[in-house]
Structure 1
Amino acid sequence: MMIEVNQPIKRELFINGEWKPAKHYKEVKSPYSNEVIGTVPVATKTEVLLAIDAAYQACSKMVALSSFERAQILENLARLLEDRKEEAAYIIAREAAKPLAFAKAEVARSIETYKFAAEEAKRIHGETIPLDAAAGGKNRLGYTVREPIGVIGAITPFNFPMNLMAHKVGPAIAAGNTIVLKPASQTPFSALFIAELLEQAGLPKGALNIITGSGSVIGDIIVTDERISMITFTGSPSVGIAIKNKAGLKRVTLELGSNSALIVDDVIEVDKIISRCITGAFSFQGQVCISLQRVYVHENKYDEFVEKFVKATKELKIGDPLDESTDISALISSQDVKRSLSWIEEAKSEGAIVMAGGVSEGDILLPTVLVEVNKEMKVSCQEVFAPIVVINKVNGIDEAIEHVNDSNYGLQAGIYTESVSTALRVADKLHVGGIMINDVPTFRVDQMPYGGVKESGTGREGIKYAIEEMTEMKLVVWNKEY
């Protein structure tokens, strides 16, 4: 059905290929206007178990599909989403307060992600093993195959409600698995919209089940149910650690927090990088896992960088997410605004200087630039997940490397430099999952391996790499002399 994007939406649970009503529903409100966007079910334990059972029973259907058939379903989904991309973007903008230009970019990436998944469905393969290289391996043939892992429990966050779903659902389908998915409470409509399209795309009943409601109720059941073979989670470190502790022998992929850093060398032309740094810092109000939060600028370029970064920050347009010219809109909740303001006040009380922003207009936190921040302040050592950037002065690359690594997180980092040796040294020394040379740490395209170290998580996303996580390797050995 076509959703009226400006009207309240009422959706049901999606279980075993059918839309199921629930006893209780919850209103979802716009973070920007506080208007009711729609209502979604609050699932009970019984309904979560029904979804898991449907996924478990559907495993045989997915295993029976050929690679071609799984790829065709994903290609159909990409085409259907392309046909309704404007509607999809408005859903994201309304439920997440994501400025419409960024919401459209997310939909475009989601389409591309499903296309990558369709391609990778045809490239899942094993290898031959030269068993006769061992003394006891003569006349034996060995090879490996990859098989679906089974039911995957997926828990997605609010910040990329459509594309991060694609990074879990796309490779799961490509590999022949089934899914039980719990979307973020603030952004359920994007996931339910994709369920509708997958129904049309020909996905077998029960292969995708979407449950909305309390994270504590749904999450605990998904994580502990023995029929679920793998958990893929994107969210906070505290929840991720709890999931890992409860998951037992399940495979677990966790994409958790970050306070991504950028190093700016003294040979860089500042004018050439400011626009890109602004994008990296303030896209979707800084509510991006690899948002640029810390900048370490060589002392020779520091004053110029701060001046030009602050000037560009103050030129960003604040307002309604449904206006395509808007750069910054509301944070996901009023509690996040209060938390962010308290962190800014803490920094100010300990000597930090606010160069831009530092205040809110309703639930919009103005893009904020802080200098003279020490490493113990929350705005530096924790994940702000808000439009707040800390700019620090360093006397050289070695000091910058030390500061970047002095973090509980390690997702992505970046460096701007014209020195090949400096770039290679930084790539060797930084303890992170990905290093962007001559770009901000916020860079991501959807086929690249993506994930971190330390409290930034375990495992990798990126379609090919997620498929490796979502499959089991089986070894076959054939005695040719029998």
Structure 2
Amino acid sequence: MVNEDRVTSVAPVLARSLVGGSWCGEGAQIDIRDPYRGAVVGRMCVSTPAELSGALAAAKAASAVMAAMPGYERAAMLQRIADSVAANAEEIARIMALETGKAIADCRTEAARAPATLRLCAEEAVRIQGEHVPLDGSAVGAGKIAMVMRFPVGVVAAITPFNAPVNLAAHKLGPALAAGNAIILKPSPKAPLSTQKFIEAVLDAGIPEGAVNVLHGDDIAPALVTDPNVDLVSFTGSIPVGKKIRSSIGLKPVVLELGGVGPTFVHHDADLVAAAKASARNAMQLAGQSCASVQNIYMHSGVREEFTEMLLHEVDSIRFGDPLDVATEVGTLIDEAAAVRVMGMVERAVDAGAQLLRGGSRTGAQVSATILSDVHPSMDVASQEVFGPTVTLQQYQEIEPIFRKISESPFGLQCGIYTNSLDLSLAAIRSLRTGGVIVNGTSRWRSDQMPYGGVKDSGAGREGPKFAMRDMTEERFFVFN
């Protein structure tokens, strides 16, 4: 029950390939373990080359069916899918908590967001618009009628990460179907079980055979994204893998939602209470495993002591523990190897002179809330994505030089700034080369309908139903002479 002090476990799940409407699993099986207890909670069937070929053929055939489906039918289908996912949300959330180590409260939130995301996609399915192009501006165009229309690209290959396995799958599956495409989904091998239950719910809603296919295993990914039957690749994950994908697929369009270093500013005129609470929570939630998590806090020297004290107080109130305990706010990292990597970054920073204000310890896959001050920008805990519950505190007198450094850095996902100054807010918006600037909010703020994504090494293209559908369709220009 939802109100239990501790959520009970569920039956082991087998994640299988979905090819043309049929579940199959001929390949090797891999254990999926609970990162908190180490117990096996399910298994994943690694997809074979034959399953890849079958999925490509099924998606290619289904793409014609999806393209011919009227928008209102696609919208109705997505509403049915949303209803089915919502009906299975509690089971999806429990499985997610077991396989990822995320707190059950966060898993329930995600399982509720996924159907909401799908409903947004349903609404956009009937809003795919082109535009009239006036040609009277030149003699050659006078008297002619011209339009631009948008058509589905065909087959979308979507690769999703472990940190939000269900809602991010919804962010790819929903827009693909809404735009009239077929999709081949490859979930993270670190979190395939909740995706299995999500896709089962999708199929229960009734969809054309082959419109949704699922493959498992990282070894299958290169052949998937480079296959000529795939018309667009949508990837959410690490920067190195994103670069490999982009360099391997030639002129094929690609949408990349990659990493960042979570810069958030606290200016001298900020609401310090709000800034401290939001910064602490958005640094630690999901154990820091969000590409936009608050990682680097830049605070004006005039509020350094007061803000630091408030931040530490808020961090101390966050409950780390058993992901299945409903009182837990932060669970584990995805596995012990990830925790070891994070601790290595923290230890190198301390060895180089950073001051450890909180945390800096590890138990298995769980890392304590860690706050570092006196951090030099060159330390990898500041200059590289940590992807763990770790935040650095850096002070400034003049804010413009920090703006320039962020704009010149390889990262450009989102930036938060707390200030009551309209002039400073506009300066941040105009000068920070990032995908988003959140005024009086942190770098991690996101709503599911917004255009979410980055620039530079942080990605290309945008997530969010309307904006993902723009990427998953192609323009076609026509003229009536």
- Shorter chain as denominator, the TM-score bin is over 0.9
SS at 1:358 equivalent: coil
Give the C-alpha shift of residue 196 in structure 1.
Answer: 1.2
Is the contact made by 1:258 and 1:289 (CA closer than 8 Å) also made in structure 2?
Answer: yes
Taking a change above 3 Å as real, the CA distance of residues 78 and 113 of structure 1, as seen in their structure-2 partners, is same
Choose the corresponding residue for 1:169, options 168, 173, 176.
173
Q: RMSD of aligned C-alpha atoms?
A: 1.3
Query: What is aligned with 1:92?
Result: 96
Equivalent positions of 1:383-398 (< 5 A) are 383-398=385-400
Q: Does 1:79 align with 2:83?
A: yes
Query: What is aligned with 1:419?
Result: 421
- Structure 1: which amino acid aligns with 2:203? E
Q: Does 1:56 align with 2:57?
A: no
Query: What is aligned with 1:121?
Result: 125
Choose the corresponding residue for 1:330, options 318, 329, 332.
332
Is the contact made by 1:298 and 1:393 (CA closer than 8 Å) also made in structure 2?
Answer: yes
Q: Does 1:131 align with 2:141?
A: no
Query: What is aligned with 2:278?
Result: 276
Give the C-alpha shift of residue 255 in structure 1.
Answer: 0.7
- Structure 2: which amino acid aligns with 1:169? L
Q: Does 1:307 align with 2:285?
A: no
Which consecutive residues of structure 1, in runs of 5 or more, have no partner in the other structure?
A: none
Is the contact made by 1:191 and 1:210 (CA closer than 8 Å) also made in structure 2?
Answer: no
The alignment-based identity, stated in percent, is 38
Choose the corresponding residue for 1:7, options 11, 28, 50.
11
Is the contact made by 1:328 and 1:364 (CA closer than 8 Å) also made in structure 2?
Answer: no
SS at 2:302 equivalent: coil
Query: What is aligned with 2:3?
Result: none
TM-score w.r.t. the length of structure 2 is 0.96
Taking a change above 3 Å as real, the CA distance of residues 265 and 73 of structure 1, as seen in their structure-2 partners, is same
Choose the corresponding residue for 2:182, options 171, 175, 178.
178
SS at 2:409 equivalent: coil
Query: What is aligned with 1:155?
Result: 159
Q: Does 1:37 align with 2:75?
A: no
Is the contact made by 1:413 and 1:436 (CA closer than 8 Å) also made in structure 2?
Answer: yes
- Structure 2: which amino acid aligns with 1:29? R
Query: What is aligned with 2:209?
Result: 205
SS at 1:301 equivalent: helix
Cα distance per residue 1:149-184 (max 9 Å; x no partner) = 011111000000001111111100000001111100
Cα distance per residue 1:244-264 (max 9 Å; x no partner) = 111112100111110010111
Choose the corresponding residue for 1:454, options 456, 465, 473.
456
Give the C-alpha shift of residue 283 in structure 1.
Answer: 0.9
Cα distance per residue 1:13-60 (max 9 Å; x no partner) = 111011113142111111111111111211121211111111111111
Paired with 2:15 and 2:335, the residues of 1 have a C-alpha distance of: 22
Q: Does 1:433 align with 2:452?
A: no
SS at 1:79 equivalent: helix
Query: What is aligned with 2:358?
Result: 356
Paired with 1:345 and 1:251, the residues of 2 have a C-alpha distance of: 40
Query: What is aligned with 2:20?
Result: 16
Give the C-alpha shift of residue 394 in structure 1.
Answer: 0.6
Paired with 1:457 and 1:11, the residues of 2 have a C-alpha distance of: 29
- Structure 2: which amino acid aligns with 1:87? E
Query: What is aligned with 1:236?
Result: 238
SS at 1:455 equivalent: helix
Aligned residues: 474
Which consecutive residues of structure 2, in runs of 5 or more, have no partner in the other structure?
A: 1-7
SS at 1:132 equivalent: coil
- Structure 2: which amino acid aligns with 1:86? E
SS at 1:288 equivalent: coil
Query: What is aligned with 1:410?
Result: 412
Paired with 1:14 and 1:153, the residues of 2 have a C-alpha distance of: 14
The ranges of structure 1 where at least 4 consecutive aligned residues each deviate by more than 3 angstroms after the TM superposition are: 402-406
Cα distance per residue 1:418-467 (max 9 Å; x no partner) = 11111111111111000000101110001111111111011111111111
Query: What is aligned with 1:27?
Result: 31
- Structure 1: which amino acid aligns with 2:345? W
Taking a change above 3 Å as real, the CA distance of residues 89 and 261 of structure 1, as seen in their structure-2 partners, is same
Choose the corresponding residue for 2:468, options 448, 466, 469.
466
- Structure 2: which amino acid aligns with 1:193? K
Paired with 1:11 and 1:430, the residues of 2 have a C-alpha distance of: 42
Cα distance per residue 1:184-219 (max 9 Å; x no partner) = 001112222222122121210101100112x1x211
Cα distance per residue 1:395-416 (max 9 Å; x no partner) = 1322432443353211000100
Is the contact made by 1:260 and 1:410 (CA closer than 8 Å) also made in structure 2?
Answer: no
SS at 1:228 equivalent: coil
